Amino acid sequence: MTARLFPHPGLTVLLVTMWVVMVGEVSFGALFLGLVVGIVVPIFTAPWWPGRPPVRFLPAAAYCGIVLWDIVVANFHVAAIILFKPTRDLRPAWLTIPLELTTPEAITVFAGTISLTPGTVSADVSACGNYLLVHALHAPDPAGEVAKVKARYEARLKEIFA
């Protein structure tokens, strides 16, 4: 019964939270309408999510914390590069990251994480789905950058989407 009423519990929580944020107040009416939207939308969209991979909540929450921290640190790092490093010393690079992730959801989160972090942007996924093309603002050691990204993000995503 619970699975039919809440086919995507994470989406329900997200919709209720976003509804209350958009309304701008925490009241009975806002929570009630948020719950209605948070229950109805996942029920009606469930048929279009037939093979969704299971997501482990605690590793996902930890991953979000790591990504938020990395975004803050990367903002300062990129600002320092732009303000203090001469342009001639920059070493931009195209990185080809071999993917061990197999589900489209995990690859999308991986690519989005890279693009959210200042100084890098995901440009393309290979047709076979085995490689991600990333541009880095400053990568003096491209192989090291690839290893760092795979260890920091991809390994955790494999655990989340296991």
What does the pLDDT look like over 95-147, one tens digit per residue? 999 999 988 889 999 999 999 999 999 999 998 889 999 999 999 999 999 99
pLDDT at 49 over 80: no
The CB-side HSE value for 96 (13 A sphere, CA atoms) comes to 4
- Provide the whole-model pTM: 0.75
Distance CA 133, CA 151 (A): 17
Confidence band for 2, pLDDT divided at 50, 70 and 90? low
Q: What is the pLDDT of residue 86?
A: 86
Q: What is the rounded CA–CA span in Å between residue 10 and residue 53?
A: 13
In contact, 91 and 138? CB cutoff 8 Å? yes
Residues 124 and 156 sit within 8 Å (Cβ to Cβ):
no
Least confident segment among 1-5, 51-55, 75-79, 143-147: 1-5
Domains parsed from the chain with CATH numbers: 2-48 (no CATH), 57-160 (3.30.70)
What backbone phi and psi angles, to 5 degrees, belong to 133? -95, 125
Is the pLDDT assigned to residue 3 strictly greater than 70? no
